[in-house]
Structure 1
Amino acid sequence: MNFSATTIAWWAVIGLLALIALFVVISFFAFGALWVQAFAASARVSMLSLIGMYFRQVRAPIIVHAKIMAAQAGLDITSRNGILTQRLEAHYLAGGNVMNVIQAIIAAHRAGIDLDFDRAAAIDLAGRDVQDAVRTSVQPKVIDCPDPRRSGKATLSA
């Protein structure tokens, strides 16, 4: 058989296009359901970011569900200081609890408390329960102290 250079080039192009198509099909089967969920909820998570999460070993369902919750709660998910996919991934990779942070921000938003993502993430990474901090802000904890006139002591001891 006698193959010309143009025939070999065409087969190389066809082979490359077939590999790209195979990659797209495999990616859609692996991440399509998550992407459709995010798209249907207007959460703006791209297929490329889902593939990137796979390579960075980030659990994509956690990030997507957190982003969907934020979008449905009416939080800012588009601006630079909003709840972006990259910021959620960074918090996850830093060892933070993404769902706790998002739920705390939503609770603070509903209670009229100004709590941005950076502050909530910092509280979470410091080892504190962000949701408990919001709960305490909404309903302060009341500590019962004995009446000093009844006990005869002017101070309290633990």
Structure 2
Amino acid sequence: TVDGGAEALAALRESPPAPPKDNPEIDWIPRVEPETGIIHVPLVGGPSIEPTFAEYGGGVLVSSSLDDARAVLGGAPPETIEQSGNLYLSMRPDQVMDAVGEAGSELATFGFLRDHTPESFLGLLVPWREIAAKINVVSLLAGYESDELQVSAWMQMQ
């Protein structure tokens, strides 16, 4: 965890811990890139799964991916716009269940779901998949205007 926000990051950049001299299987020592100020922790998954922290837009950028953090930091700076915003969310429950099934099966394969094999986890999803198969799409529209939040939700059945 990072306590202290930008101040903690600045202190870590000023005095980073020394990288290990040996090559441990798991290395939790943060690395500091002096030219960018990025702080990241190298993990087995490479830069796509590498906890990363950097000062950004008056705050702290926290990312699970060094590559994604570099992309954000290299893009246009964040700016505030003076207009109300809306949030639109649309999902297809059958696709959500497919993604949950794939992720859960992977976790179970590696023993991360206590008391479940990939098959038993997929068995748990059967009743949820039956419900999801009856729904084509679920949508939500939210907007904030004049100190009031307005939300509309709808569902299209098969």
Q: What TM-score comes out, normalization by structure 1 length?
A: 0.21
Q: Report the structure, 1 or 2, having the larger strand content.
A: 2
